Chains A and B, each alone.
Chain A
């Protein structure tokens, strides 16, 4: 058959009608597939796991560890699992996910007595943790504001870029981190907000900015909100650390509440990966504030329409854990206590790391370790210094110098401080 040699598949001969011997096929289909670069964050953990050194320290990925460096399953979660085990069937959730879980989740972000909730103005769906919520919003933005771009802070969680890129939404940057002070470059940030075209979409970290740990003050948030009103910008909040920043979820939602007070119609991604330790369960929520109930129903339907060809409906197990905990006052109180304990341990480790470095006589200022907030510390170390930490001391972190404080323990803080001192002095 003449068509055999078409299509650039050289060297493959077929006899018509006969089955082909197994080894005569070519590599025509996938040979052009290059190996993907290692994910800068999750790749760190892979490398860490492969390291046989007994001294190794993982301060890479933002997953909480206790003071023994062990992963933690919260007591409230264990209890919730006991209650739900074997009880319910595993029928598909509605496309928008668990209604109960979404209700409870909105209360956390918007306030127990939020008028927006009462008036049913919020379009909200269960999402695949924070990533899934951001992705769903990015796809939604692409579909319904096709000419818009997303303004992303510099720096930000690396996967934000991947998400909006794969959603085909063009990206712009706004300045955020001030390397010299290891703090917020508020002036430049406000300039960028002002200079962006009216009605731009902005990605904001509600609290505990990842990777820098640098948050605007309450007053700075008010100014940001005001300028957003002047410019008619859209605020999309990624809130992955509610409860983790200060230990108090209400306080950590302050930025969002400020924007709501000012009448902004925001979008919000929430995640239970860290604050409930449900990392692998992939539980989160995407919400979009609308003008009225009718619009919220329409927007929710469209969000579901985007989710259906991605995963049909979201996973139930984590959602059940969340709604069991938040729906029971005792379990909820237990949760609040456990979140505060986690946040306090991290704050304690920040203090310890800074004190250790100062005791070692480091010539540099490490004030930012205790000024920054949340799980991460932006150390200011260079990629080369980070590489040395890994090669010489078996300390694993992302090359942007971000330290996950959750991986610091009383057992390793001295070792860590010494290693940092050695590579930075």
Chain B
């Protein structure tokens, strides 16, 4: 009877001997397992499907809070109101509020499909053609740091993944060193440094009184930090405020960073999106590189090439020599390998094809101008609507002065919630709206919502 339970195909030799021995002894009641495992019960457990499930090891796990940014889109999708407006996540929309796949991207994909390329693993550091293109886009092909081969570049999982690699590098080689981040900054920055176990503290940045830059506070806080800290800077189009330092202010920031022997750490997620010019938007990074400083720079192609979901970006470490750059690159690889082994190929190929083909590159620059242009138009229209509708005399010009995809409205948490609850305008609770999600047609509605929230809710 018991023999029916155990299939006799290819058991291990010791087991087979046991079976023979047991059979000889006529043990119809005994189980046929090795003597250590004499639980009579298991003859039943094996032949039945769903048992009483054991208690989960993860029983005490509570629900995580919804992500403050990506959670907004999820809430928006669930809303059925006809006037709803999604100004949450920074994803570009056309005037018809549709997602936009760039023409150059479609062309590049078509080329790739025709070529029928394989899907082999990339090297750990990513696609070589992409790494070359991305560093040249950032610094300019004739920049000293490129000609001297002083940049360690590794393809990363968009901006997030590239920041995470840099954070892991900092944790490993500068244990205890802090990263200074702006107040406010992109919500996920803190999560990245927390999960990478890198301590951080904030430097003043946004001045609610002027809805502009608190430059003195910023300089003062950078000065007060321990020497050799990392200073996280937004290369252009600061997220969430849209407030960028002027060129003169960048020079002073560089001065104080050098004085304190800090390491500048740029997050460049919007190159091309701020002014419409890829080169102009890289000027802050190039200014620091020209001073001979060593820097970290994370890049993303989510917005400027519309490749959001392809997760394509890069981490660049500008070092003092090509030898150091080689070593740093090898260590970046060592950090990436246990995270994801090697990065996804598709987005990298698209970027390499667009940037590497001069026709496509020129066409990209035009599309970039178009996207940035639409946002500038919408800023103007919103500003005009606010000024026309608001009789209180409040100065709304910050809408025009801020740059990039986002605007920091100055609305507080309660007011932002009013925007959502009463007006079905979805935004993040810090008062940030994504102008990329705004159409000219909806500017007036939005102006009404902002004016109501600002004046009637505290």
Contact = CB atoms under 8 A, between A and B. Distances in A.
Interface stretch (A16-24, A101-109, A339-347, A391-399): A16-24
Contact of A265 (B53, B119, B260): B53
Contacts of A230: 37, 39
Contacts of A171: none
B12 A25 contact: no
Contacts of B346: 280-281, 315, 317-318
B109 interface: yes
A291 B55 contact: yes
Contacts of A305: 64, 67
A155 interface: no
Interface stretch (A27-35, A352-360, A382-390, A412-420): A27-35
A6 B317 CA distance: 24
A3 interface: yes
Nearest to A38: B330
Given A14-B258, A20-B291, A131-B340, A291 B124 contact: no
B37 A92 contact: no
Nearest to A39: B337
Contacts of A128: 157, 339-341, 344
A346 B258 CA distance: 59
A70 B14 CA distance: 43
Interface residues of B, number: 115
A148 B39 CA distance: 27
Contacts of A71: 118-120
A36 B336 CA distance: 12
B103 to A, nearest CB: 11
Interface string A80-101: 0110011001111111000000
29 contacts: A25-B294, A30-B328, A35-B326, A46-B123, A71-B120, A72-B118, A73-B118, A90-B307, A90-B310, A95-B67, A131-B339, A145-B58, A219-B15, A229-B54, A230-B37, A232-B54, A234-B57, A263-B45, A279-B120, A280-B119, A281-B119, A302-B61, A309-B188, A311-B164, A312-B157, A312-B311, A315-B347, A316-B309, A317-B310
Interface of A: 1, 3-4, 6-7, 9, 14, 16-17, 19-37, 39, 42, 46, 61, 63, 71-73, 77-78, 81-82, 85-86, 89-95, 115, 128-129, 131-132, 135, 139, 144-145, 159, 162-163, 165-167, 184, 186-187, 190, 194, 199, 217-220, 222-223, 226-227, 229-230, 232, 234, 261-265, 273, 277-282, 288, 290-291, 295, 297-299, 301-302, 304-306, 308-318
Given A78-B116, A199-B57, A318-B346, 13 more contacts: A33-B331, A90-B105, A92-B308, A115-B50, A131-B341, A186-B15, A187-B14, A217-B11, A217-B12, A218-B9, A280-B346, A308-B188, A308-B191
